Structure 1
Amino acid sequence: MSSREEASAKPAEFGSSRDVSNPYGHLLQLLADTPVSFALEMDDGRVLRFGRTVPAFHVTARSREGSRALMSLNEGRIAEAYLAGHLDISGDMLQPFQLRAKLHDRHPLLTAWRFIEPLLFGQVRANRKAIASHYEQDPEFFLNFLDRDVPLYTQGIFLSDEDTLAEASERKLKYCFDACRLKPGDRILEIGPGWGSWLKYASARGVKCTAITISDYSRNFLLGEAERLGYQWDIRFCDLLEYRPDEKYDAIVMMGVIEHLPQYQRVLQIFSGLLKSGGRVFLDGSSSARKYALSSTTTKYIFPGNHSPWVLHDFLKALSATQFSVQEMFDDRHSYFLSLRHWAMNWDSNKDRVVQLFGEHAYRRFRLYFWGTAAQFLSHHFGCYRLILSSRPEQRLAGEPDHA
Structure 2
Amino acid sequence: MSTSTKDADEAETAATPGKLTLAEILEIFAGGRLPLRITAYDGSSAGPPDAPFGLELKTPRGTTYLATGRGDLGLARAYIADDLDIHGVHPGDPYELLKALSNSLEFTRPPARVMAQIIRSIGVEHLRPIAPPPQEVPARWRRMADGLRHSRARDAEAIHHHYDVSNTFYEWVLGTSMTYTCACYPNLEASLDEAQENKYRLVFEKLRLKPGERLLDVGCGWGGMVRYAARRGVKATGVTLSREQTSWAQRAIADEGLTGLAEVRYGDYRDITETRFDAVSSIGLLEHIGVRNYSSYFGFLQSRMRPGGLLLNHCITRPDNGSEPSTHGFIDRYVFPDGELTGSGRIITEAQNAGLEVLHEENLRQHYALTLRDWCANLVEHWDESVAEVGLPTAKVWGLYMAGSRLAFESGGIQLHQVLAAKPDGRGDVGALPLRPWWTP
TM-score by length of 2: 0.78
2:62 aligns with: 66
Q: Is the 8 A contact 2:352 2:358 kept in 1?
A: no
1:102 aligns with: 107
Partner Cα distance (2:145, 2:408) in 1:
27
Aligned-pair CA distance for 1:60: 1.4
Q: Is the 8 A contact 1:155 1:339 kept in 2?
A: yes
Partner Cα distance (1:277, 1:369) in 2:
41
1:128 aligns with: 156
Deviations 1:287-324 (A, max 9, x none): 123343423221111111x3212432222222232321
Aligned-pair CA distance for 1:113: 4.2
Work out whether 1:275 is the aligned partner of 2:305. yes
Partner Cα distance (1:320, 1:121) in 2:
25
Q: Is the 8 A contact 2:67 2:74 kept in 1?
A: no
1:262-301 matches, cutoff 5 A: 262=290, 263-288=293-318, 289=320, 290-301=323-334
SS of the residue aligned with 1:281? strand
Over 3 Å counting, the alpha-carbon distance change for 1:287 and 1:117 in structure 2 is farther
TM-score by length of 1: 0.85
Partner Cα distance (1:32, 1:234) in 2:
57
Q: Is the 8 A contact 2:317 2:416 kept in 1?
A: yes
Deviations 1:113-165 (A, max 9, x none): 46x567648711111011011112331111111121x1211011124443221
Q: Is the 8 A contact 1:37 1:54 kept in 2?
A: no
Deviations 1:28-76 (A, max 9, x none): 2221264x721111112322106xx953521112222234545667421
Q: Is the 8 A contact 1:43 1:66 kept in 2?
A: no
Partner Cα distance (1:119, 1:317) in 2:
28
Q: Is the 8 A contact 1:17 1:28 kept in 2?
A: no
Question: Which residue, 218, 226, 237 being the options, matches 2:266?
Answer: 237
Aligned-pair CA distance for 1:237: 2.0
- Quick check: 382-391 or 288-297, which moved more? 288-297
Partner Cα distance (2:417, 2:228) in 1:
22
Q: Percent identity?
A: 22
Q: Is the 8 A contact 2:376 2:399 kept in 1?
A: yes
Over 3 Å counting, the alpha-carbon distance change for 1:118 and 1:281 in structure 2 is farther
Letter in 2 for 1:59: L
Question: Which residue, 287, 302, 310 being the options, matches 2:335?
Answer: 302
SS of the residue aligned with 1:85? coil
Aligned-pair CA distance for 1:209: 0.9
Q: Is the 8 A contact 2:327 2:340 kept in 1?
A: yes
Partner Cα distance (2:108, 2:139) in 1:
18
Question: Which residue, 27, 44, 55 being the options, matches 2:42?
Answer: 44
CA RMSD of aligned residues (A): 2.8
Partner Cα distance (1:275, 1:81) in 2:
48
Partner Cα distance (2:105, 2:161) in 1:
26
Work out whether 1:146 is the aligned partner of 2:145. no
Letter in 2 for 1:78: L
Partner Cα distance (1:223, 1:384) in 2:
28
1:367 aligns with: 399
Work out whether 1:215 is the aligned partner of 2:242. yes
1:77 aligns with: 74
Partner Cα distance (2:311, 2:289) in 1:
15
Over 3 Å counting, the alpha-carbon distance change for 1:161 and 1:30 in structure 2 is farther
Q: How many residues align?
A: 375
Letter in 1 for 2:29: L
Partner Cα distance (2:285, 2:302) in 1:
17
- Quick check: 269-278 or 62-71, which moved more? 62-71
2:201 aligns with: 174
Over 3 Å counting, the alpha-carbon distance change for 1:335 and 1:87 in structure 2 is same
2:439 aligns with: none
- Quick check: 292-301 or 368-377, which moved more? 292-301
2:183 aligns with: 156
SS of the residue aligned with 1:28? helix
1:310-389 matches, cutoff 5 A: 310-389=342-421
Aligned-pair CA distance for 1:243: 2.2
Partner Cα distance (2:17, 2:198) in 1:
60
Aligned-pair CA distance for 1:382: 0.9
Letter in 2 for 1:239: D
Partner Cα distance (2:393, 2:409) in 1:
24
Contiguous gaps of at least 5 residues in structure 1: 1-13, 398-404
